[in-house]
Structure 1
Amino acid sequence: MAELVGVNLAMQTPFNEDGTIDYRTFEDLVDRYIDAGVHGIVFGSGTGQHPYLTEEECNKLYELGAKRVQGRCNVICQTSALNVDEVIRRSKHAESIGANAIMVLPPYFEGPSDDDGLFEFYKEVDASIGIDIIGYNIPQATGIAVSPSLLKRLVELPNYNYIKDSAGDITTHQEFISTGANVLNGCDPTTIFAFLAGAKGAIWGAANFLPTEAVKLYNLVQSGDVSAAFTLWHKMLPSLLFIWRTEYVASVLHASKLRGFGTGRVRKPLRALSKDHAEGLRKALATLEG
């Protein structure tokens, strides 16, 4: 089992003006994020606009990303798809290029939502690969909530060793941790509380624009310096609350551009932030510079 502790950056996918992927900027960002100290990088994350990338584009990103990382941090690839055979095909490709783990959403569009159906889905994926699976609990997007009782069953599978929890319900998050599962936080505004509760780390979208601060926060909590961690947290919090309550991906990418990371562009059908939201985000980021 891979040690996916710490800050796993849910990395953006930079785009050119014409909507094509800017692979040169992508590779440069990989280096910069590793230099900032992130413990892992998730390629094809939601923040990386996975739903709007083709399978071919994902495969190329993953190949370039893994080659650029060169073992300097963990590599995680999202291999989610609606068709199970496609999930397995994508997952095998990720394993073949050296990924430490894959991240897989439940079958989120008119697929099974009962515990037995979800278990059988992950069981089939699990049997197809030999690397870690990170399940993904984000009911506000999928309409499917992973229950603590289901998680207990899932972690009995050979490779289902982690779950990313983006629901934002700290009660359920602690119930997940209590099962003995390896839990990774995915809700930006609850990160410090998840760390204190015993989460192994985070898969963190906002780390695209505050990578150094994200790593420092994790390290402060791990060292037991909770007072310093909360001092830093209160500088981070205004921007974390802002992105969580607005257009998340567009906000993260705009904030990243403002702080010198990436192009700031989204791919259709996503849209850039309105002028009012862009100004609100700029103000929310000001506390990071204090």
Structure 2
Amino acid sequence: MSGASPLSPGAPSPAPFGRVITAMVTPFAADGSLDLELAARLASHLVDHGSDGLVLSGTTGESPTLSWEEEHRLFAAVKQAVGGRASLIAGCGSNSTAEAVAATRQAAALGADAALVVVPYYNKPPQEGLEAHFRAVAEAAPELPLMLYNIPGRTGTSISADTTARLMDLPNVVSFKAASGTTEEVSQLRAACGERLAIYSGDDALTLPMLAVGAVGVVSVASHLAGVQIQRLVQAFLAGDHATALALHEQLLPLCKALFCTTNPIPVKAALELSGWAVGSPRLPLVSANDDVRTRLTTVLAALRPT
């Protein structure tokens, strides 16, 4: 367990980037180009409504269809709008180690607070390859904290707790976005890596269960619509007010489920539009939400507003 430290009974790790981090959508204009002015306004709104940090150009931000140049311009616009008020985490993952290294170096140069680096997708490397990949990225920008991102439903590969533990000798491997869909992943990581690794829920619906087993916060999609409530949930849990945390979890669960009723970020972009934020359609091969999805979102949002 390289780098592991003893666990304090019942104590979560510190949260290096805050408790609620929004995986921000990328706004597009009607012609499909970046809408940087709207991105800046949305980022400011999110920070004013519960978000401690923002992930830019992640899964929700449609990184597969953004060019690196677009990602850099998006980051610069958002940094100008909210820099210093929130942690800014740049999506730097790739299934090419050389690309991930270059993107992480660029994120450091642009002044990012951290880099989100997803498990390489499609080429399905073994654990030895995953370790070598993340080690190369970490060593390329040793001054930049990294959040490793495990989402096997999209990548086809899962980094193990043992592999993550071997990476803990790298001082900038500080956090982990757990999106395997199980709370067991958090427990395995805590056992293998100790409390220095700050684990964030990567699934809105599992935020409370993951907090209960040692996660420190959430990288959220639902916080686009309910950031204040999600922040209240996390803070209530940390304060020992588990009844309030549970009540908020149950209140938010229909929204969390609706936002993943089809491929993210199709629903959240539709929900933002229904809430007055015209962030544009996703880029192909993703498509706009159909009528059934929009009807479900309308119902969920109407139920949410009175709170």
TM-score computed with the length of structure 2 as normaliser: 0.89
Alignment partners' CA distance in 2, 1:280 and 1:156: 46
Q: Which moved more, 1:258-267 or 1:61-70?
A: 258-267
User: Is the 1:250–1:270 Cα contact (8 Å) retained in structure 2?
Assistant: yes
Residues 286 and 233 (structure 1), Cα distance of their counterparts in 2 relative to 1, 3 Å cut: farther
Corresponding residue of 2:103:
90
Aligned match of 1:126 in 126, 134, 138?
Answer: 138
Alignment partners' CA distance in 2, 1:261 and 1:225: 33
Is residue 82 of structure 2 the alignment partner of residue 69 of structure 1? Answer: yes
Corresponding residue of 1:156:
169
Q: Secondary structure at the match of 1:245?
A: coil
Aligned match of 1:203 in 205, 214, 219?
Answer: 219
User: Is the 2:117–2:147 Cα contact (8 Å) retained in structure 1?
Assistant: yes
Is residue 277 of structure 2 the alignment partner of residue 288 of structure 1? Answer: no
**1:159-209 deviation digits (Å, cap 9, x = unpaired):** 111110111111122222333222111012111111222212111112112
Alignment partners' CA distance in 1, 2:283 and 2:124: 26
User: Is the 1:4–1:200 Cα contact (8 Å) retained in structure 2?
Assistant: no
Alpha-carbon distance, 1:5 to partner: 3.1
Percent pairwise identity: 28
Corresponding residue of 2:242:
226
User: Is the 2:15–2:216 Cα contact (8 Å) retained in structure 1?
Assistant: no
| Structure 1 gap ranges (5+) | none
Alignment partners' CA distance in 1, 2:19 and 2:271: 22
Alignment partners' CA distance in 1, 2:248 and 2:66: 35
Alignment partners' CA distance in 1, 2:18 and 2:49: 16
Alignment partners' CA distance in 2, 1:267 and 1:217: 33
Corresponding residue of 1:35:
48
User: Is the 1:238–1:285 Cα contact (8 Å) retained in structure 2?
Assistant: no
| Structure 2 gap ranges (5+) | 1-13
Corresponding residue of 1:184:
200
Corresponding residue of 2:209:
193
Corresponding residue of 1:248:
264
Q: Secondary structure at the match of 1:244?
A: coil
Question: Letter of the aligned partner of 1:230 in structure 2?
Answer: L
Q: Aligned-residue CA RMSD in angstroms? A: 1.7
Corresponding residue of 2:62:
49
TM-score computed with the length of structure 1 as normaliser: 0.94
> What is the count of residue pairs matched by the alignment?
289
Question: Letter of the aligned partner of 2:220 in structure 1?
Answer: W
